[in-house]
Structure formats: C-alpha cells, structure tokens
Chain A
Amino acid sequence: MTPLLEIRDLRIEGRSDEAWHPIINGIDLTLGRGEVLGLIGESGAGKSTLGLAAMGYVRDGVRISGGAVVFDGIDLMTASTEEKRSLLGRRIAYVAQSAAASFNPAHKLIDQHVEAPVRHGVSGRGESVEVAIELYRKLRLPNPEEIGFRYPHQVSGGQLQRAMTAMAMSCRPDLIIFDEPTTALDVTTQIEVLAAIRDIVDQFGTSAIYITHDLAVVAQMADRIKVLLRGDEVETAPTRQMLEHPREDYTKSLWAVRGYHRPEKPAPGPDSVPILSVEGVTAAYGEQVVLEKVSFDIHPGRTVAVVGESGSGKSTTARVITGLLPPKGGAVRFEGEALPPGYRQRSKDQLRQVQMIYQMADTALNPRQTVAQIIGRPVRFYSGLRGRRLRVRVDELLDQIEMDPAIFRDRLPGELSGGQKQRIGIARALAAEPRLIICDEVTSALDQLVAEGILKLLARLQDELGLSYMFITHDLATVKAIADEVVVMKEGQVIEQGPKTAMFTPPHHPYTDLLLSSVPEMDPDWLDKLLAERGVEALGEAATGKM
C-alpha cells in the first residue's frame, strides 16, 4: 500500500537580514495510513515548519526551495490553490498549540466547528451540528449538547484544546497535524487531552503527525518517533526501540535530561531562624479571595518548591511576598521581622534582600537596554558603584552566570537566545546581592536541555552564595530535580507540605497523588496503565453527563 504522506528531500529556507537561511535541510518522511508519527526536537529545530510543510503550506518569509510533498498521490508542491483548498480542512487538518489563540473569540465554538464541513460540502449545517455533538461526547467534553454554543472564553483551556481536536476531526480527515497541543496545559488537564486525542485517532484510523518537545508525551502518542536537530534528521525509529536503544548521542542526551537530580540537603536544625516565613496569609483581588491562610517557611540555603496547577495561587503568593499585593490578613516575616505589606513602604535594604526571576525572559528584560545596563542598574542602585568599578562588578556577574562579558556586555536582549535571556534575568537578581530569590516558572518556557543548564546554574549559585530559593513551578520533574522542601497548593490553600523525599514517597494526600501520577513517564504503556488504574470515570467532570 502506498503511504498516505511522503516527503522527499524537503528543503525550506527562511528570510532574515536580507538573505535566505536554511531551516530544513533535506528531510525525508513517510507516514502510513493510521500511523502516528512523533516529531521531537528543541525550539528552532524546524518541527513546526515541517508540520506545516506537510500541508503544503509555509509561513510568510519562508519558502520551500526543494523536494516534494506528496499526499495520497497529489503533489502539494505543484497543486493549484484550488486543489489545495479542497484538501485542507477536508482531508488534512491542523491543531495548533494554543487553542485559546486559534479560536476566533467573536464566534461560538459550534459555528467555527461546522464551517469546514459546510464549506467543503461534506454535510449540511444541521447534520454537522449533530456530528459535532457526537464528537464532543467522544472527546468526553462536559455537556456535549451545550458546550458548542458557548464562546471560547467561556470554556477552560483543556476543554478548548479538545474542542479544537474535535474541530479538526469535523470532516473525518485522513491526516491531522498536532502542533504541541498540550504544551500550554497543566499536567492534570494534559492527561485528559492526551487520552481524548489518542482515542479519537484510534477510532477513526486517522494518521497523525504529533509535534512536541516533551519526550514522555510523544512516547504515549506515537508509533514512530523522528528526532530533529536544527533542520536535520537525527534518527527515526519505532517508539519502543527509540526509547530503549537510542542510537545517536544527541538522542541519548535528550533522554538523559530527566536524570538530573540534586540530593536533598539535610533538614535545618531546630533553632534555625527561617529566612522567610509566610504566616497565615490571606489575599484577595477585590472581593475574590485567592489565598487562604497560606503558611510556610524558607530556611537559609534551602530550596522550597511551590507546586500546583494554574490558578492555585502560586504566583499570587510571590506577589504578596514581594509586596505587590498587600495581604488582607497574616504577615510575611524576613528573618523574624515582619515586612511592611506594600513594597512602597519597604526600605531599600528590605527590597534588596528578596529578588525575583520571571517566567518570560522576553518581558522581564527591557528590550531597549543593553545587558550591561540591565545588570548594572541594580548594582549602582543598591551599592552606588560607578564607572570602572561598576564595570568590573558587571563583568564579575556575567562570569558567574557563565557568559563571556566581552561578547555579551553590549548586546540587547533581542540579540540573545531564550536561555541566555534567562541567565541575564538571574544575573540581574544576583546583582542586588539578595538572600532570597523567587523563581517564578523560570524553566517552563525553555527547552529541556537549556532548562537543565539553568537549573544546574541555580544550584551552583546556591552552593557558592548560600542563597535561598522559592521555586514556583507546575513541573514536578523540576521539583524532583532541585527542591529540598515542597509546598503543594490548590485553590489558594496549602494542601500538603514537607521535605521532598517524604513528599515523593507514599502515602500522599489524594491531590498530591493526582499531580504526581499525572506526570507523563517515558514508558510507552504509562498512559494505558494510568487510565486503567483510574478508570474512565476518573477523567474528571468529563464523563459525568454520560456514565
């Protein structure tokens, strides 16, 4: 049988600085009917570009310079616009990373859903709506009868991602391209979406290309895995073989990332004064209470990880500690002394002691200031160093974060990579010579290899400078890697807290258990086992209407 999709020696170039630079250098790809191919690689590896090229489409400023894309006997390189139009949406569908950004906020879900079948003449509107409701039910969306008649903002992120998958399925396509469909979701939500996608792909025998940077996820979804690196193929193999016996060094390094583990430091003595204690903090945005009686301590030189899903109040806790959101009740103490609630009332020295590193390095660094200005400002502000001595201090800080001052001192943030920007964010925090650094999801926007580098850097700095960290994250793998203590939060409350080893050994609080068991593992059977354990009902509110 001929393969459904065949890509031969595909070359793609992108235009920047008035010249064409290669993005994909000659990649071959075949996809059989009903097969799921996983594409993995770091950002910039050309995964998304390749995924789009499989539809015969390239973004603006990008061109296909050679090779062929043949879908079911039709060469998409030479097909006319009309021909492609009749394929896209009808026989090839696309699920984007952020469903929230891909749905039109001005139309109801169902209207957007039925657009493709109606326009392609697959079925009339009434029939399409019925089919859509059936699909919603299959994807275990709550209230399948009604959910389609809501607007995108009235539906949660995970549900929206499933609705998008349903939309891609609306014409029963032969091929669906999933571009990181679960990257923006919490682990607990991710499970639901993964299970739903896999079920539906199995049921209809659809072929799929599944693009992701998360190996554990791709292990659950794909029959075969293709690893990309800077536009080149590293290797391709069936999932099990790839996981058990990776051939290339690069693949092995990807596999090894999750192995980084830092031993837990010994517990602080009974007379150790916590560097920061949060005592019964209650906070609210207007009337909406977002934190309820949150208490935990951070001891000197230790890392406390605060985990929870989005909306659990992790970042709000950080805002209370820094003084951006004065609490309604409770207090924040620094070395036993109560900090004033608002940052405006705090002294320069109090502000200096607690620094923050942000999730999005893009918005955390002023794009119009050079690296030297960004790092130099806190140095000058707090210690009053000027001229040559300021310069020496900035170079020292750049050395500490393993960046060459001669190269990077005068660069603007736009000229740095994601990992480098995050390092500058760290250097800016260090420049104040703080005792405590709050790290807000510092690695979640980074590739795994880069994230590992950042974690190792943070660990080294802690050893050298005796820093304490409050580490906000939703990624339990990160927690496992570097935390000493763990605080689990849900809906503004602390559910459980304790030393890491204790937290990761059963028995757990049921919610902690749910979080822990939802972290994908490299075992290709993990999702099956988990689903069998939990039973289908456990997939949350999804099934209540039906079961």
Chain B
Amino acid sequence: MSLWIWAIGALAAIAALAWIGLCVARRLSGNAPRYRDMSYGVAFGYALALAAIAGGVWLWMKPGAVYFRWAVMGFFLCAAAAFVFRLAGRHLGPERLRRQFRKMPLTAAFGILVILIYAIVAIFAAWIAPYGQEAVLGAANVVPGGDPAMGGDPAFPLGTDRIGRDILSRLIYGAQNTVGLAFATTLLAFLLGGSLGLLAAVVGGWLDQVLSRGVDVLMAIPSLIFALLLLTIASVWADGARGLMTLYMVLIIAVIDSTRVFRLSRSVGIGIVVMDYVEAAKLRGEGMGHLVFREILPNAMAPLLAEFGLRFCFVFLTIASLSFLGVGIQPPLADWGTMVRDLAQFINFAAFAPMVALAPLLPALAIAILTVGVNFVVDWMLHRASGLKS
C-alpha cells in the first residue's frame, strides 16, 4: 500500500516540477519560441528524465548496489569502445570505408565492433582459449575474479564449473558452437524461405497457394514446442550420434524459421513484381532466374538483410533455449544456453557474494550483447535503406 502512495506522490512531484520548470523557463528566457511553444507533455518528459537521472545517482551512492554500478560502468565502457572504434574507422582504411564510418551512429559502430569481436573469437577459439572445452581440471566451483581470498584461482580468471571445467574457455568455445550453428541455420532458412517466397510472388496462382498454405500450417504450431517435438523424434533416428543430432537440430530450426522468411520475402516480392520494370522484363521474354535474381532480389535486399539480422538473433536464442532444455547442442560441447542452465544455482548467492552469482550471468551476458549488437546494425541498415529510397 505504501508503495502506491510513494509512486503517486513521486509522479505528482514530477508533474509539479515540470509545470514550475516550464513557467520559470518562459519567464527567464523572455518567452522565447522554444519554451513558449513547448507543450506541457514535453516538459513532463524532461522532468521525468531529470528524476530518472537523480534516481540513478542515488542508487550509485548506495553501498549495496554492486550490479548497478557494474552495469553503469559497463555501459560507459561499451560507449567509449564504440567511440574509439568509430574514430579509428574514420581515420584509417580506404576512403569508401571511411565515408561509411562518418555517417554511422554510435550504436551501429558498437554493433559492428561486437560482431567483429565475436567473429574473431569464434574463428580463433582454439588459439585464444587457455584450456580445451571438454577438459576437466580438478578444481571445481572456483569463484570468478581470480582472488584466492574470495575462493578464486588466478589460473581460472572466470572460475570453473561444478565438474571443474574452465568457464572462460567454455565461453570462448561457446561462441564457436552457438554462433556458428546459428549462422549456418539462419543462412539455410534464408536460402529456403527467401527463394521459395520470391518464387511464389513471381509465379503466383496455385504454386503460391500451395506454398503459402503449407507455411500457414507450419506457422500455426508454436515454434518452440514444434521444434522440441521434432527433435525428440529426431533423437530416436540419430540413435545417440552427437554429430547427427546437431545436424537434425540445424535442419529443423532452419525449416521452422524459413516460414517467417517466406512470408516476408513473398510480401516484399509481391510489391516489386507489380513494378513496370518487372513487366518490361517479362515482356522481353526473360526467364524466371533473371526475374528473381536480377530484377527482384536486388530491390528486396534491404528488408531481407534486416530480417537476416533479426532472424539470426531468434535462431540463436532458440538454440540457446533448446540447449537449456537439454535437446540442443549436446554436452560436453560448450554452449551458452547449456552453461546458463548448468550454472543457474549460483544465482542464489547474489545477495551475499556478487562474484559467485556472476558465473551464470556471463554466458547470458554474451547472448545479450550479441543480440543487442546485431539489432543495432540491423536498425542502421534499415534506416540507410529507407533513406536511399527518398
């Protein structure tokens, strides 16, 4: 009850602050157009932002708010890294690249930086990781941080898991497994869904009906449940062969996700098919290949690329959740979803030992940062694509 009173009181205070602030600003500035034409709603927004900043500062001062302080520091660190990266891009490299960097927002620079780092880590995992992903190293449950007084060990900077595998190494190999598989799956989904969708748009008629209704049927089943069901069946066929199981998983997720790609590419394609230049190409007597890949695909590229970025995130999360549920990437292969599940109990210690609770948060953070980074880049590409049109 008292929480409600607090919340209403705070809102009323912010509202009053906004009103007083607006009056004062108008008086002080001699009724300048900027303040004169500012609506109360905008002023309230400013007041709310001010209150949020004040709240943030207060939280920062509070002794117990370790995670909040880490989050704020991490935010500024990421922003600084992105800024430096963009600055480097603007002054190094060929002229064409520099021009791209000059128009780039900070968010996109951050996204590209993240994707680059992940790609490098994934490709060179075997050289970067201090230990093998399957190596059991004896010392179990070492706390992250490398401080012996807190139960850490300098040999394992991010600690070890319950059976003594190095978390840092597994995180690095996880990039290879999870990101690599997600990339392959998304690519497959796009080849399948994209080409069928454009084909349906160009040919139309019964082919379009058959493909679209088939996709509708697949989409009618909740995707995660459907994937679980199919994977259970597939696990019988695979008969314990780990590589085969992973292949089935890639195929199943690719097919399920290709339905979304099909929908998008078909609707984008239908918008392009009615253009006069496609009609001109048809009347010229061009074949289906030329129509789809020369006339339509280049114009559908911007939305499809954007969808690729988003779809990649979804596939990636699906693989992580399937692994979390135990049917995805099979142990002992390192995978971020499985790691979150394995280390999940440590979160209970968050109140007493922030460092211990960090263990399950690290793979989760790895997933989150990549998702955010990819989305930033996608946003930027969409923005550029729409800007090109006008």
Is there a chain B Cβ closer than 8 Å to A381's Cβ? yes
Known: A363-B275, A366-B298, A414-B388. A80 touches B33 (CB 8 A): yes
| Bound-complex Cα distance A80 to B389 (A) | 34
Contact A366 B37 (CB under 8 A): no
Option from A348, A368, A414 in Cβ contact (under 8 Å) with B299? A368
How many Cβ-Cβ contacts under 8 Å join chain A to chain B? 54
A side interface size, CB within 8 A: 29
- B147 CB within 8 Å of chain A: no
Residues from chain B with Cβ under 8 Å of A432 in the complex: 284
Check: A390 CB closer than 8 A to any chain B CB.
no
Closest chain-B Cβ to A14's Cβ sits at a distance in Å of: 12
In-complex Cβ contact of A363 among B276, B285, B388 (8 A): B276
CA gap between A313 and B85 in the complex, in Å? 60
B379 CB within 8 Å of chain A? no
With both beta carbons as reference points, the residue of chain A lying nearest to B282 in the complex is identified as A343
Q: Which residues of B contact A82 (CB under 8 A)?
A: 37
**How far is it, in angstroms, between the C-alpha of A351 and the C-alpha of B277 when the chains are bound?**
15
Contact between chains at A381 and B299 (CB < 8 Å): no
Smallest CB–CB gap between B101 and chain A, Å? 14
Residues of chain A within 8 A (CB-CB) of B285 are: 343, 346, 348, 351, 381
State how many angstroms separate the Cβ of B388 from the closest Cβ of chain A. 7
Q: Which residues of A contact B389 (CB under 8 A)?
A: 367
**B241 at interface by CB-CB < 8 Å:** no
A253: Cβ under 8 A from any B Cβ:
no
Q: Is A356 engaged at the interface, CB distance under 8 Å to the other chain?
A: yes
Q: Which residue from chain B places its CB closest to the CB of A432 in the assembled complex?
A: B284
A406 to B279 alpha-carbon distance, docked (Å): 29
Closest A residue, CB atoms, query B274: A363
Does the CB pair A80–B298 fall under 8 Å?
Answer: no
A76 vs B248: C-alpha distance when bound (angstroms):
68
Q: Is the CB of B284 within 8 A of A351?
A: yes
Closest residue of chain B to A365, judged by CB? B277
Among residues 71 to 112 in chain A, which have CB atoms less than 8 Å away from a CB atom of chain B? 78, 80-82
Collect the chain B residues with CB atoms within 8 Å of residue A369's CB: 298
- Which A residues between 342 and 401 are near B, CB-CB below 8 angstroms? 343, 346, 348, 351, 355-356, 358, 360, 363-369, 377-378, 381-382
- Contacts A80-B33, A80-B36, A80-B37 given; does A364 touch B277 at CB 8 Å: yes
**Smallest CB gap from A359: residue in B:** B276
Q: Are B37 and A428 neighbours in the complex by a CB distance under 8 Å?
A: no
For residues 20 through 39 of chain B, which have their beta carbon under 8 Å from a beta carbon of chain A? Answer: 33, 36-37
Given A366-B299, A381-B285, A428:B280 Cβ within 8 A: yes
A78 touches B298 (CB 8 A): no
Q: What residue in chain B is nearest A368 (Cβ atoms)?
A: B298
B134 touches A (CB below 8 Å): no
Asked whether B342 is an interface residue with its Cβ less than 8 Å from the other chain, the reply is no
B216 at the interface (CB under 8 A from A): no
Q: Give the distance in Å from the alpha carbon of A365 to the alpha carbon of B278 in the complex.
A: 9
A358 contact set on B, CB distance < 8 A: 276, 280
Could you tell me if A356 and B283 are in contact, using CB atoms closer than 8 angstroms?
yes
Supposing A80-B36, A366-B298, A368-B299 touch, asked if A323 and B276 sit within 8 A by C-beta, the answer is no
A364 and B276: CB pair below 8 A?
A: yes
A351 to B281, CA, bound (A): 11
Give the complex CA separation of A323 and B285 in angstroms. Answer: 11
Verify if B295 is at the interface (C-beta below 8 Å from A): yes
Q: How far is the CB of A473 from chain B (nearest CB, A)?
A: 17
Do A366 and B277 contact each other (CB < 8 Å), given the known contacts A78-B33, A80-B36, A414-B388? Answer: yes
- Residues in A neighbouring B277, C-beta threshold 8 A: 363-366
Considering the complex, give the chain A residue whose CB is closest to the CB of B296: A366
Q: Report the Cα distance A367→B276, complex, angstroms.
A: 11
Q: Closest approach, in angstroms, between the C-beta of A192 and any C-beta of chain B?
A: 31
Query: Among the listed B276, B284, B295, B388, which residue makes an inter-chain contact with A381, where contact means beta carbons less than 8 Å apart?
Result: B284
CB nearest neighbor in B for A323: B283
- Taken together as a complex, chains A and B put the C-alpha atoms of A268 and B243 apart, in Å, by 79
- Cα–Cα, bound, A131→B72 (Å): 62
Contacts A363-B275, A366-B277, A378-B284 known; 11 new A-B pairs at CB < 8 A: A80-B36, A81-B37, A322-B283, A351-B283, A356-B283, A358-B280, A364-B277, A367-B299, A368-B298, A369-B298, A414-B388
A-B residue pairs, 5 tightest by C-beta: A368-B298, A364-B276, A81-B37, A358-B276, A366-B277
21 A-B residue pairs with CB within 8 Å: A81-B37, A323-B283, A343-B282, A343-B283, A343-B285, A351-B283, A360-B276, A363-B275, A363-B276, A364-B277, A364-B280, A366-B295, A368-B298, A368-B301, A377-B284, A378-B284, A381-B284, A381-B286, A382-B284, A414-B388, A428-B280
